[in-house]
Structure 1
Amino acid sequence: MPDSPYRAAFDATSPMFDSVTPLVWGPAGQSLAFALGLRSGERVLDICAGTGASALPAAAAVGPDGLVHAIDLSDDLLELARLKATARALRNIDFVRADATQWEPPSTAADGYDALACSYGVFFLPDMDISFARLVRLVRPGGRVGVTVWRKGAIEAFARAFFEVVARYKPGRPHEGPLATETYAAHPLRRIETEETLGPWLTESGCTSVEVREFSNHVPATEEFSWNFVLGSGFRGAIAEFDDDALASIRTEFLELLTARGIDSVDATTLVATGVSVA
Structure 2
Amino acid sequence: MDMQERKYKIKETFNNAAEGYDKPALRFFSAAAEYLADSMKFAGNEHILDVATGTGSVALACAQRLGAGHVTAIDLSDGMLAQAKAKAQEQQLSNFDFLCMDIEASNFTADSFDAACCGFGIFFLSDMEAGFKTIAKFVKSGGAIGISSFTGVVMEPLSQKFIDRILAYGVAMPALSWKRLDSVEKIRTLYQSAGLEQLHTQTYQVGYYLAGFEEWWDILWYSGFRGLLSQLSSPELASFRQAHQEEVELLADEQGIWLNVEILISVGYKPV
Aligned to 1:216: 205
Aligned partners of 1:46 and 1:70 also within 8 Å: yes
Instruction: Give the stretch that moved more between structures: 213-222 or 192-201.
Output: 192-201
Q: Percent identity?
A: 26
Take 1:115 and 1:198, find their aligned partners in 2: how far apart are those partners? Answer: 18
Change over 3 Å in CA distance of 1:39–1:22 after alignment to 2: farther
Take 1:135 and 1:56, find their aligned partners in 2: how far apart are those partners? Answer: 19
Amino acid at match of 1:271: L
Q: Which of 16, 35, 38 does residue 34 from structure 1 map onto?
A: 38
Change over 3 Å in CA distance of 1:21–1:136 after alignment to 2: farther
Instruction: Give the stretch that moved more between structures: 91-100 or 254-263.
Output: 254-263
What is the CA-CA distance between 1:105 and the residue it aligns to?
Answer: 2.4
Change over 3 Å in CA distance of 1:262–1:277 after alignment to 2: same
* TM-score computed with the length of structure 2 as normaliser: 0.90
Helix, strand or coil at the partner of 2:265: strand
Aligned to 1:85: 88
Helix, strand or coil at the partner of 2:116: strand
Give the alignment of 1:141-160 within 5 angstroms: 141-160=141-160
Helix, strand or coil at the partner of 2:126: coil
- Over residues 82-119 of structure 1, what are the superposed CA-to-partner deviations in whole Å (9 max), with x where a residue is unaligned? 0110111111111111001122227xxx6421111111
Matched positions, count = 264
Take 1:97 and 1:2, find their aligned partners in 2: how far apart are those partners? Answer: 16
What is the CA-CA distance between 1:256 and the residue it aligns to?
Answer: 1.2
Aligned to 1:117: 117
Q: Which of 179, 199, 203 does residue 190 from structure 1 map onto?
A: 179
Q: Which of 223, 229, 248 does residue 233 from structure 1 map onto?
A: 223
What is the CA-CA distance between 1:166 and the residue it aligns to?
Answer: 1.4
Helix, strand or coil at the partner of 2:65: helix
- Over residues 146-202 of structure 1, what are the superposed CA-to-partner deviations in whole Å (9 max), with x where a residue is unaligned? 0001012112422211122212332xx432142xxxxxxxx5x43431223323422
* TM-score computed with the length of structure 1 as normaliser: 0.88
What is the CA-CA distance between 1:243 and the residue it aligns to?
Answer: 3.6
Amino acid at match of 1:96: L
Consecutive unaligned residues of structure 1, counting only runs of 5 or more, are 179-186
Aligned to 1:258: 248
Take 2:78 and 2:29, find their aligned partners in 1: how far apart are those partners? Answer: 18
Aligned partners of 1:155 and 1:266 also within 8 Å: yes
Change over 3 Å in CA distance of 1:191–1:75 after alignment to 2: closer
Give the alignment of 1:1-279 within 5 angstroms: 3=5, 4=7, 5-20=9-24, 23-63=27-67, 65-105=68-108, 111-170=111-170, 173-178=171-176, 189-221=178-210, 222-261=212-251, 264-278=257-271
What is the CA-CA distance between 1:134 and the residue it aligns to?
Answer: 1.4
Take 2:238 and 2:20, find their aligned partners in 1: how far apart are those partners? Answer: 16
- Over residues 119-145 of structure 1, what are the superposed CA-to-partner deviations in whole Å (9 max), with x where a residue is unaligned? 110110011011111111110000100
Q: Which runs of 4+ in 1 moved over 4 A?
A: none
Change over 3 Å in CA distance of 1:18–1:177 after alignment to 2: farther
Take 2:265 and 2:244, find their aligned partners in 1: how far apart are those partners? Answer: 30
Helix, strand or coil at the partner of 2:149: strand
Consecutive unaligned residues of structure 2, counting only runs of 5 or more, are none
Aligned partners of 1:20 and 1:232 also within 8 Å: no
Aligned partners of 2:119 and 2:149 also within 8 Å: yes
Take 2:75 and 2:4, find their aligned partners in 1: how far apart are those partners? Answer: 10
Aligned to 1:183: none
Amino acid at match of 2:51: I
